[in-house]
Protein backbone atom coordinates (compact mmCIF):
# COMPACT_ATOMS: atom_id res chain seq x y z
CA UNK A 1 0.00 0.00 0.00
CA UNK A 2 1.18 3.52 -0.80
CA UNK A 3 0.39 6.53 1.35
CA UNK A 4 0.00 9.67 -0.69
CA UNK A 5 0.11 13.03 1.05
CA UNK A 6 -1.93 15.27 -1.23
CA UNK A 7 -0.97 18.87 -0.59
CA UNK A 8 -2.79 21.81 -2.08
CA UNK A 9 -0.44 24.54 -3.27
CA UNK A 10 0.24 27.54 -1.05
CA UNK A 11 -1.74 30.77 -1.27
CA UNK A 12 -1.25 32.33 -4.74
CA UNK A 13 -1.47 35.88 -5.99
CA UNK A 14 -3.03 36.52 -9.38
CA UNK A 15 -1.92 40.16 -9.43
CA UNK A 16 1.03 39.57 -11.80
CA UNK A 17 -1.08 37.64 -14.32
CA UNK A 18 -3.95 40.12 -14.08
CA UNK A 19 -1.55 43.04 -14.68
CA UNK A 20 -0.24 41.31 -17.79
CA UNK A 21 -3.75 40.40 -18.93
CA UNK A 22 -2.80 36.75 -19.30
CA UNK A 23 -5.62 34.44 -20.37
CA UNK A 24 -6.10 30.68 -20.48
CA UNK A 25 -3.10 28.75 -19.24
CA UNK A 26 -1.20 32.04 -18.86
CA UNK A 27 -3.26 32.53 -15.69
CA UNK A 28 -1.57 29.44 -14.26
CA UNK A 29 1.71 31.37 -13.94
CA UNK A 30 0.53 32.92 -10.66
CA UNK A 31 3.21 32.66 -7.93
CA UNK A 32 2.72 32.29 -4.18
CA UNK A 33 2.25 35.23 -1.84
CA UNK A 34 4.73 35.74 1.00
CA UNK A 35 2.04 34.36 3.28
CA UNK A 36 1.73 31.36 0.96
CA UNK A 37 5.48 30.72 1.12
CA UNK A 38 5.46 30.83 4.92
CA UNK A 39 2.45 28.50 5.02
CA UNK A 40 4.28 25.93 2.90
CA UNK A 41 7.34 26.15 5.17
CA UNK A 42 5.05 25.39 8.12
CA UNK A 43 3.55 22.43 6.27
CA UNK A 44 7.08 21.10 5.67
CA UNK A 45 7.44 20.71 9.46
CA UNK A 46 4.63 18.11 9.58
CA UNK A 47 6.12 14.81 10.77
CA UNK A 48 4.08 12.80 8.27
CA UNK A 49 6.25 14.18 5.47
CA UNK A 50 9.65 13.36 7.00
CA UNK A 51 10.09 9.87 5.52
CA UNK A 52 8.56 10.43 2.12
CA UNK A 53 10.54 9.14 -0.83
CA UNK A 54 9.56 11.54 -3.60
CA UNK A 55 7.61 14.72 -4.30
CA UNK A 56 5.47 14.81 -7.44
CA UNK A 57 4.07 18.16 -8.54
CA UNK A 58 1.67 19.77 -10.95
CA UNK A 59 3.52 21.89 -13.52
CA UNK A 60 1.59 25.06 -12.63
CA UNK A 61 3.70 27.77 -11.01
CA UNK A 62 1.83 27.90 -7.69
CA UNK A 63 2.14 24.13 -7.23
CA UNK A 64 5.70 23.90 -8.50
CA UNK A 65 6.82 26.71 -6.19
CA UNK A 66 5.13 24.88 -3.30
CA UNK A 67 6.86 21.62 -4.25
CA UNK A 68 10.23 23.36 -4.60
CA UNK A 69 9.94 24.76 -1.07
CA UNK A 70 8.98 21.33 0.29
CA UNK A 71 11.85 19.71 -1.63
CA UNK A 72 14.35 22.19 -0.19
CA UNK A 73 13.00 21.97 3.36
CA UNK A 74 12.71 18.17 3.39
CA UNK A 75 15.65 17.22 1.14
CA UNK A 76 13.42 15.09 -1.11
CA UNK A 77 13.71 14.86 -4.90
CA UNK A 78 11.02 16.48 -6.99
CA UNK A 79 9.37 15.31 -10.22
CA UNK A 80 6.77 17.09 -12.33
CA UNK A 81 3.78 15.24 -13.76
CA UNK A 82 1.75 17.20 -16.31
CA UNK A 83 -1.41 15.25 -15.48
CA UNK A 84 -1.49 16.74 -11.97
CA UNK A 85 -2.67 20.02 -13.49
CA UNK A 86 -5.68 21.80 -12.03
CA UNK A 87 -9.22 21.24 -13.22
CA UNK A 88 -9.63 22.73 -16.70
CA UNK A 89 -12.46 25.28 -16.69
CA UNK A 90 -12.56 25.53 -20.49
CA UNK A 91 -11.47 22.36 -22.31
CA UNK A 92 -12.84 23.63 -25.63
CA UNK A 93 -11.11 26.99 -26.06
CA UNK A 94 -8.67 27.20 -23.11
CA UNK A 95 -9.45 30.91 -23.06
CA UNK A 96 -10.86 31.80 -19.63
CA UNK A 97 -9.84 35.42 -19.22
CA UNK A 98 -10.35 36.33 -15.59
CA UNK A 99 -10.59 34.84 -12.14
CA UNK A 100 -14.31 35.62 -12.29
CA UNK A 101 -14.63 33.47 -15.44
CA UNK A 102 -13.06 30.59 -13.52
CA UNK A 103 -15.28 31.13 -10.48
CA UNK A 104 -18.41 31.17 -12.67
CA UNK A 105 -17.41 27.96 -14.43
CA UNK A 106 -16.53 26.38 -11.08
CA UNK A 107 -19.97 27.27 -9.69
CA UNK A 108 -21.56 25.66 -12.76
CA UNK A 109 -19.38 22.57 -12.29
CA UNK A 110 -20.44 22.33 -8.63
CA UNK A 111 -24.10 22.97 -9.47
CA UNK A 112 -23.98 19.87 -11.69
CA UNK A 113 -21.71 17.85 -9.36
CA UNK A 114 -19.09 17.75 -12.11
CA UNK A 115 -21.38 15.78 -14.43
CA UNK A 116 -22.37 17.15 -17.83
CA UNK A 117 -26.18 17.19 -18.02
CA UNK A 118 -27.77 15.23 -20.87
CA UNK A 119 -28.32 17.27 -24.02
CA UNK A 120 -26.08 20.09 -22.78
CA UNK A 121 -22.59 21.14 -23.72
CA UNK A 122 -20.32 22.25 -20.90
CA UNK A 123 -16.85 23.62 -21.49
CA UNK A 124 -15.42 22.40 -18.18
CA UNK A 125 -13.55 19.19 -17.40
CA UNK A 126 -15.82 16.63 -15.71
CA UNK A 127 -15.26 15.15 -12.26
CA UNK A 128 -14.91 11.72 -13.85
CA UNK A 129 -12.13 12.96 -16.13
CA UNK A 130 -10.28 14.55 -13.21
CA UNK A 131 -10.60 11.41 -11.11
CA UNK A 132 -9.30 9.17 -13.92
CA UNK A 133 -6.41 11.56 -14.52
CA UNK A 134 -5.45 11.67 -10.84
CA UNK A 135 -5.77 7.91 -10.36
CA UNK A 136 -3.52 7.35 -13.38
CA UNK A 137 -0.82 9.56 -11.85
CA UNK A 138 -1.06 7.91 -8.44
CA UNK A 139 -0.80 4.47 -10.01
CA UNK A 140 2.55 5.48 -11.59
CA UNK A 141 3.96 6.29 -8.15
CA UNK A 142 2.47 3.35 -6.26
CA UNK A 143 5.87 1.62 -6.33
CA UNK A 144 6.83 3.96 -3.46
CA UNK A 145 5.62 3.65 0.13
CA UNK A 146 5.19 7.37 0.92
CA UNK A 147 4.71 10.08 -1.69
CA UNK A 148 4.04 13.81 -1.48
CA UNK A 149 1.75 14.99 -4.28
CA UNK A 150 1.47 18.76 -4.74
CA UNK A 151 -1.52 19.75 -6.80
CA UNK A 152 -4.75 21.72 -6.65
CA UNK A 153 -7.85 22.08 -4.53
CA UNK A 154 -10.41 21.11 -7.14
CA UNK A 155 -8.53 17.93 -8.02
CA UNK A 156 -8.09 16.90 -4.37
CA UNK A 157 -11.71 17.74 -3.51
CA UNK A 158 -12.96 15.61 -6.40
CA UNK A 159 -10.83 12.58 -5.55
CA UNK A 160 -11.39 12.78 -1.78
CA UNK A 161 -15.01 14.00 -1.87
CA UNK A 162 -14.05 16.78 0.53
CA UNK A 163 -15.72 20.18 0.33
CA UNK A 164 -12.95 22.52 1.51
CA UNK A 165 -9.17 22.20 1.43
CA UNK A 166 -6.96 25.00 2.71
CA UNK A 167 -3.79 26.24 1.05
CA UNK A 168 -0.81 23.99 1.91
CA UNK A 169 -3.15 21.56 3.68
CA UNK A 170 -2.20 17.86 3.77
CA UNK A 171 -4.82 15.24 2.89
CA UNK A 172 -3.90 11.58 3.30
CA UNK A 173 -4.89 9.16 0.54
CA UNK A 174 -3.88 5.50 0.53
CA UNK A 175 -4.06 3.04 -2.35
Q: Where are the domains of the chain?
A: 3-174
What are the residues whose beta carbons fall under 8 Å from the beta carbon of 47, sequence distance 6 or more?
Answer: none
Q: Answer with the residue of higher pLDDT: 45 or 127.
A: 45
Q: Which CATH number does the domain 3-174 belong to among 3.40.50.1240, 3.40.50.620, 3.30.10.20, 3.40.50.300? A: 3.40.50.1240
Check residue 32 and report its DSSP letter: B
CA neighbor of 67 nearest in space, from 146, 13, 136, 6: 6
Per-residue pLDDT tens over the stretch 134-151: 999 999 999 999 999 999
pTM, rounded to two decimals:
0.86
Amino acid sequence: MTMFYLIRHGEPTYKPVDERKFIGHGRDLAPLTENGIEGVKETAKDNRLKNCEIIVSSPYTRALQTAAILSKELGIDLEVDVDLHEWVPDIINFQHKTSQDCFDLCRDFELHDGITPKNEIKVWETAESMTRRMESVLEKYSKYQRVIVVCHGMVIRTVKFQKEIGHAEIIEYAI
